[in-house]
Amino acid sequence: MTFLTGKHLSRRTLLHGAGAAIALPLLDAMRPALAAPSKTGPQPRRTAVVYVPNGIVMKDWKPEATGPDFTFTRILKPLEPFRRDLTVLSGLANHAASKARGGGHAKATGSFLSGTPPKYTAGADVQAGVTFDQVAAARWSAETRVASLQIGCEDARMVGNCDTGSSCAYTNSLSWKDPNTPLAVEVNPRSVFERLFGTVDPSLAPEVRARRALYRKSILDSTRESAQKLAAGLGPDDKRKVDEYLTGIREVEQRIAAAERDPVTPPIGKPSGIPFEYRDYVKLMFDLQVAAFQSDLSRVSTMMLGREGSVRVYPEIGVPDPHHPLTHHRGHPDFIEKVTKINCFHVELFAYFLDRLKSTPDGEGNLLDHSLILYGSALSDGNAHSNTDLPLVLAGHAGGLAGGRHVAAAAGTPVANLFVDMLNRAGLETGSFADSTGRLDLS
């Protein structure tokens, strides 16, 4: 069933089918319905955080020059095609981690987006602070189907001791809905897909969802009739947009299904449905976020490329050693080189995400024009567990962010100042957040 408003299409039009409810991207036929601008403007603004664990080799990350004439370093090199879309940041510090007790990794991640020192505990009495992404999610929750996405590519465990007496909730999650509620990451692409496009409850046990899937066609097959009725009333440009959008969703669904059929036995603890190759896994998760933003199903996401303290190995790039021990290199050049390779690999994958956002039309621009995407780590030097001069890049142009610059804040500037700026650029008026001392000047 398709809902129409007069001769125009509602922004909230859904394609319905058995077990599916697919939102649509912004179409020309929807523009009259958007004639009265909201505080956030005619196109929604999105915000995302892409997190990398265990710090970064700063000598190969931080550009020497500031302003527009900076040179891309070895690690940042894959992002060079997006120079005008990027603001490289330096000088920012997470003082909350320095004030906290517990493991260096847990303190860093547990306070990164909240600016609040986490309570030192390995029990169920975890406590930190609401994170800036959840401030945005709460403000936009009435306008989207999914208030926020929390995505991970490793270990969703939230209980137990994961770092020197500190709870796994601190190392394995980024987002906190309130001081006592960390939001677990979803590591299974199928669950993310069903949450966005299906009407099957993703909280059901995996075997129940699998059993129901046997009796259900592809989500797109189930909405075919609805899509055909919609297309009959659209102009040529809108028909093309809908066709490209639905083709993209089908391609994502087919990749998930292929991973579920993969005869290769997954590593112990890895759920079925996760692509065997890490590169494919990360790209699939990025594509799901693009689809969520494109259809305005969600405007907020956080994604952990690995949990803090990750011991993932990367044989595909010639690094068979576990990540975390390598970062405690004690100056050993071979270890440093391997960590640098991992850092470069992560940035290459992030470049894929930016390319997908930039190549996806959205109103009078593209998704990257209307987004703020923060990439980086809660640690700079992983060997020292340093919480100062954090390695961060902000991509996108929401709120008029120009890009094309390396902005060096005064040493020790709270990273919360950046979050104040991001919230304001997202159209959410904010005077302060956590331990901020003002709004970071990115002009």
Report which DSSP code applies to 191: H
Let me know: does 322 contact 309? Beta carbons within 8 Å. no
Q: Higher model confidence: residue 2 or residue 163?
A: 163
Let me know: does 193 contact 288? Beta carbons within 8 Å. yes
- pLDDT score recorded for residue 209: 58
- Cβ neighbours of residue 16 closer than 8 Å, sequence gap 6 or more: 1, 2, 223, 226
4 has pLDDT over 70: no
Q: Give the CA count within 13 Å in the CB-facing half-sphere of 334.
A: 4
User: What number is the average pLDDT over the span 28-41?
Assistant: 54
- pLDDT score recorded for residue 254: 87
User: What number is the average pLDDT over the span 26-32?
Assistant: 75
User: What number is the average pLDDT over the span 419-428?
Assistant: 97
Structure confidence by residue, pLDDT tens digits, 380-412: 999 999 999 999 999 999 999 999 999 999 999
- pLDDT score recorded for residue 399: 96
Structure confidence by residue, pLDDT tens digits, 116-152: 999 999 999 999 999 999 999 999 999 999 999 999 9
Nearest residue to 205 (alpha-carbon basis) of 193, 191, 184, 189: 191
User: What number is the average pLDDT over the span 415-427?
Assistant: 97
**207 — pLDDT class (breaks 50, 70, 90):** low
Q: Which fold has domain 45-187+274-425?
A: Alkaline Phosphatase, subunit A (3.40.720)
- Distance (Å, whole) CA 198 – CA 432: 38
Q: What are residue 157's phi and psi, to 5 degrees?
A: -65, 135
List the structure tokens of 317: 């790039």
Structure confidence by residue, pLDDT tens digits, 366-384: 999 999 999 999 999 999 9
Domain ranges of the chain: 1-36+209-266, 45-187+274-425
List the structure tokens of 331: 């100056």
Q: Higher model confidence: residue 108 or residue 30?
A: 108
- pLDDT score recorded for residue 249: 85
Report which DSSP code applies to 23: E
